[in-house]
A and B are shown apart, each in its own frame.
Chain A
């Protein structure tokens, strides 16, 4: 039992308990489908916000691009499952899988080359990456098309439910992967900008994505996405289990990352960039890797979101909406995982649930008045956010005990009494 600390055990047990209680309440019908949907949306929003908290709260980079990556993840995953359920082929799956993998490999290979070249400016490096990615994507589309028929046959031979679940899971993961790769390419030139300008650039990114999605059927040629009319016919297969599973996964990954040397490097950039770079931290690299990880979670969440309502509309990803995760992160406490998760659930339950029920018929729109007022009051009372930088024991970094004296005896200060 030495490997599992009591805080870990407590966290896992309580997570299982929370999941089980809500699952049972849902199965018994005590929580109707209205609350069921709200809980799933809250969980998805928690994953998006955790990604943003990593970027903004822990790495200190003000980003409004989170919903752009959320949208990429959503539409990527939706396209895969749509093709599988509606068109009965795995073409979307194989092409996007091939693109995701080959582009990833291309980025890794180019980064090897770029790291060896001293004094290469960012834009040239960006051009090299872009060239590598385009070549990889071109090859991948050919490969994916070739692989489509055998993969379709293979999946069709499986029982329908299992095949759909497999396609769904791969779709969600690919949503994350594609979002991460786009964020890598996008972040490369953009991180040469200072923090505020970076925020504006990411806002621009969200707007670009929204416009592209508005015209996805004409500009991009994805008929099934139907542009501004909204994409329908996506299977509604994101259950509470999957949302909870991915949320749990996200929390554990971010917690493990942050409590390691890499996490400390990430946080040091927020604290003082000049000091961090003077202490040997590759600031540009860690900014970009944090952005990629944050966007990965946005993409994952997008994949889950697409399969909740079975309907995607570009307006869901408008730049006004991209402030939602930002509000949640600031509200919950910048740099607090606990706060972000709590705020996501609080936000969804209050805004979509409680306020909708409390306000009289015909006054539902007033919730967008009540909710900002609530925010305002909270910010005045607790400007550091609901939880500040508080973390539950499982997430909190443990301060290690000092070594025994005899082990440390070899190092003696000249000023023992100083």
Chain B
């Protein structure tokens, strides 16, 4: 499609004619998407347009009905979610899925598990190698918490955190699994405009700091417009528009997807009237 060809980076994650059908329901149908390395991509669309299903297919929770997911030149269809995470794709969830009864620190440390570096025997014997590696792991996890300004909360039980902090913790946890691609599923849901602004700045910051490629889902258009370089608009499982924020905003199909059939005309009329 070459939709994102304005970027110079090489494509890191590619969806090719991706389909995911549930019986007769085409939740995702023939979606093409290219994420260039280091790009910050947005995906918008009304509720039920298939955005989260795409995430679930990319991360291996669902198998695609048809089509391919290519990550770093490798087809990752059929790999288990944990293998896909280990390859370098991490995600957050629309309805926050922390480990609710564990501490904030442990939430992050679990995501760092595959880099722990010591064996189960080391852990059971509590040898000095375990002590050393465990300390390193903990410090690393604390670093991640610090980026999200959660370091003072490390001992608290995750479910007791206020909503906004739970969202931040979930992103911190995803980052701790050392991904190349970060998939954020409605990270700004339920936040007030000020919190959203802070969060967007944070996403920008971690993208640069950890050299990430980010794909974020939103259904509030306002959120993605500010920061995303490329936006893909979904409706009824298909891509209806793509491009920069401005390009997408003016697209009549996008307006119709959000406001209903004929809305594009009405909006144009309304804008014209307001100008007069």
Interface residues of A, Cβ cutoff 8 Å to B: 118-119, 253, 256-257, 260-265, 267-268, 271-272, 274-283, 289, 389, 397, 399-400, 402-403, 408, 411, 413-416, 418
Contact = CB atoms under 8 A, between A and B. Distances in A.
Q: Most chain-B CB neighbours within 10 Å: which of A265, A397, A400, A416?
A: A400
Nearest to B114: A280
Contacts of A414: 201-202, 204-205
Interface in B104-152: 105-106, 109-114, 116, 118, 120, 123-126, 130, 134-135, 137-139, 142-143, 146-149, 151-152
B147 A413 contact: yes
Given A275-B93, A280-B114, A267 B123 contact: no
A418 B148 CA distance: 9
B110 A265 contact: yes
Nearest to B206: A414
B146 A415 contact: no
B78 interface: yes
A232 B207 CA distance: 70
A276 B198 CA distance: 28
A402 B148 contact: no
Interface stretch (B43-51, B95-103, B244-252): B95-103
Given A261-B137, A275-B98, A279-B110, A399 B103 contact: yes
Given A267-B99, A271-B102, A414-B201, A279 B123 contact: no
B106 A264 contact: yes
A271 B143 contact: no
25 contacts: A119-B78, A257-B124, A261-B109, A261-B116, A264-B102, A264-B110, A274-B93, A275-B93, A278-B82, A278-B93, A279-B90, A279-B111, A280-B113, A281-B110, A289-B120, A389-B101, A397-B106, A399-B155, A400-B135, A400-B138, A402-B152, A403-B139, A413-B146, A413-B147, A418-B202
Interface size class of B (residues with CB under 8 A): 35 or more
A267 B91 contact: no
A389 B110 CA distance: 19
A255 B90 CA distance: 30
B123 A265 contact: no
B177 interface: yes
A264 B110 CA distance: 6
B123 A263 contact: yes
Contacts of A256: 123-126
A277 B137 CA distance: 20
A253 B124 contact: yes
A225 to B, nearest CB: 33
Name the residue in A119, A278, A414 with the highest tally of chain B Cβ atoms < 10 Å from its Cβ. A278
Contact of A411 (B91, B109, B124, B147): B147
A262 B120 contact: yes
Given A267-B102, A403-B142, A277 B123 contact: no
Given A256-B126, A411-B146, A402 B151 contact: yes
B67 interface: no
A275 B99 contact: yes
Contacts of B261: none
A281 B82 contact: yes
Contacts of A289: 120
Contacts of B114: 280
B86 A280 contact: yes
A397 B109 CA distance: 13
A408 B110 contact: no
Interface in B189-244: 198, 201-202, 204-205
A263 B126 CA distance: 13
Given A279-B85, A280-B113, A413-B147, A402 B98 contact: no
B202 A261 contact: no
Nearest to B87: A280
Given A262-B120, A279-B177, A280-B114, 5 more contacts: A275-B99, A277-B80, A279-B173, A413-B146, A413-B149
B110 A268 contact: yes
Interface centre among A118, A268, A271 (most CB of B within 10 A): A271
A418 B198 contact: yes
